[in-house]
Amino acid sequence: MRPLKVIGHTANVVMDNAKRNEKMVVIFGYSTEYGVLNTVQEFNFGTRQWRLVKTRGFPVTGSYGHSSSWDPLSRKIYVVGGYRSAEPAGHQLTNTLYSYDPASRTRLLNPAPLALSQHSATFLSGGLMMVFGGRGAASHQCYLAEVLSYDVACDKWGYLPILRKPFQTDLARFGHSAVTSRGLLYIYGGFDGQMKADILKFTPGRCENVTTLGECLNSRLGVKCVWTTEQTCSTITDMPGDPTASAHGGNYLGEDHTVSHPVDERARCDRWTFLAGGVMRSASLGDRITPCLVFGAMLSAWKSDCHSCTQTSYKCTWCGDRCTLGFCEGSNKANEANDHCEGKSTIKCSKWFNCKSCLAQEHCVWDQYGCQDIADGFKKETQTCPAACSEHSTCTECTTEECVWCESKKRCVESIAEQLIFPYGECPIWTTDTSRCPRQSKDDS
């Protein structure tokens, strides 16, 4: 197959253990033909072939402008933030975090404290993801200087207190690149109103220098520290054996799971939960119940409620028509496994706002009202879609079809793609009304 043409996507190289080949995993993005994508594409370096992955697990609507990074310890890709389409002519900045197992399973994890895009995400050390910079949702968050950390073992977020106020103005940026080398993190370039050409270097701290359990578990050093049975603080990647077992479904450390290695079972995660919005609160049963109830209220966004309920890090239970925590009423069984859900993990047709992406779904059809579910008893017929915005070459054609026109670039794009295609203000004026199109000269006609 030919790969889909996308922008605003991410790519990670991972090792296919079964075939002993490296492959590149391309996640989501924006297509001028299909709109916002929820697809995962793979390129196998051994066979030099592309394939479209049939994922399972949590039903994802897709995004662009997100970041993703491969964790060598949990062997998963973590996808955070970005824009997703929220209505036919709009998009929404998100703080959503997913984990993607190259074995084709997707899970929803604890959201980031900030909604952001065009940021960077890297694993300087296995088990701890560092998210830097980006654009926020508020007017004063055009260029962020924050460094967030996500602890994979504990499914918790935190801020890294490494930035001093006198330097924050110079550090704030989006659209930069980040790479790790020899245990150091390097950040290059970006945009803060003007293009930048500087290099930032982050050197992580050492867990071995921490002497108490409290400091060890609450450390913000840029690496994941754990407290050992020998009463010492150590980096999680230095632990012998298999330091994995996860509350969010992969092989990772969990507070309630015992494995054979010298890590104190009670001392992997601090007792504080970092909640979205910057609130620190003591972890409790209520902190687990609340997300399940929230998911229950959100489930109308997906066609298969069971999949979206059980494929999270909160150990929620699907009880036929609701999402909760623990056993279902009148039963001593909890359906926490995605494999026990009936039907496919599919998204409701009303969540697709592009004709071609709508018709690509087996259960959807396109009409004058948008994407609709096929009525029971009806078969899907062949349909054709109107020309994509990118196919229009004049302002009049473009604005007649409810697209937006950039005169200086002679480009027609979807209204939701303005910031993605020209993220640095390259198009100063957008035309949305046909009456405002410049008159064509005879030479142009």
Is residue 215, in this structure, part of any structural domain at all?
A: no
310 & 181 share domain: no
Q: Could you tell me if residue 263 is inside a domain? A: no
CATH for 128 = 2.120.10.80
Query: Residue 102: which pLDDT band, with cuts at 50, 70 and 90?
Result: confident
Q: Provide the whole-model pTM.
A: 0.84
What confidence tens digit (pLDDT) does each residue in 215-259 have?
A: 888 888 999 988 888 888 989 888 765 454 443 433 333 333 223
Judge whether 153 lies within some domain. yes
Range name among 275-289, 291-305, 319-333 with the lowest pLDDT average: 275-289
In a domain, 217, yes or no: no
> Would you state the pLDDT for residue 42?
95
Q: What are 79's strand-pairing partners?
A: 68, 98
* Together in a domain, 333 and 411: no
pLDDT at 266 over 90: no
Does residue 431 sit in the same domain as residue 312? no
Point out the domain boundary residue: 189, 204, 219: 204
**Do 49 and 144 fall into the same domain?**
yes
Residues 327 and 412 in one domain: no
Higher pLDDT residue, 185 or 329? Answer: 185
Domain identity same for 200 and 330: no
152 located within any domain: yes
Establish if 378 belongs to a structural domain: no
Structure confidence by residue, pLDDT tens digits, 432-442: 999 999 886 44
Q: Is residue 218 part of a domain?
A: no
Q: What is the pLDDT of residue 398?
A: 95
Stretch among 54-58, 115-119, 322-326 having the lowest mean pLDDT: 322-326
Q: What is the pLDDT of residue 302?
A: 41
Question: Does the pLDDT at position 91 exceed 60?
Answer: yes
User: For 32-44, how does the pLDDT look when each residue is reduced to its tens digit (9 = 90+)?
Assistant: 999 999 999 999 9
Residue 423's pLDDT is 87
Do 53 and 182 lie in a common domain?
yes
Please indicate, yes or no, whether residues 41 and 111 belong to a single structural domain of this protein.
yes
Looking at the fold, whether 79 and 146 belong to one and the same domain comes out as yes
* Whole-number pLDDT of residue 29: 95
Name the burial class of residue 97, with classes exposed (0-12), middle (13-18) and buried (19+) by CB atoms within 10 angstroms of its CB. buried
Q: How many structural domains does the chain have?
A: 3
- 194 and 327 fall within a common domain: no
Same domain, 200 and 320: no
The residue segments making up the domain with residue 170 are: 10-204
Same domain membership, residue 174 and residue 303: no
Q: Is residue 229 part of a domain?
A: no
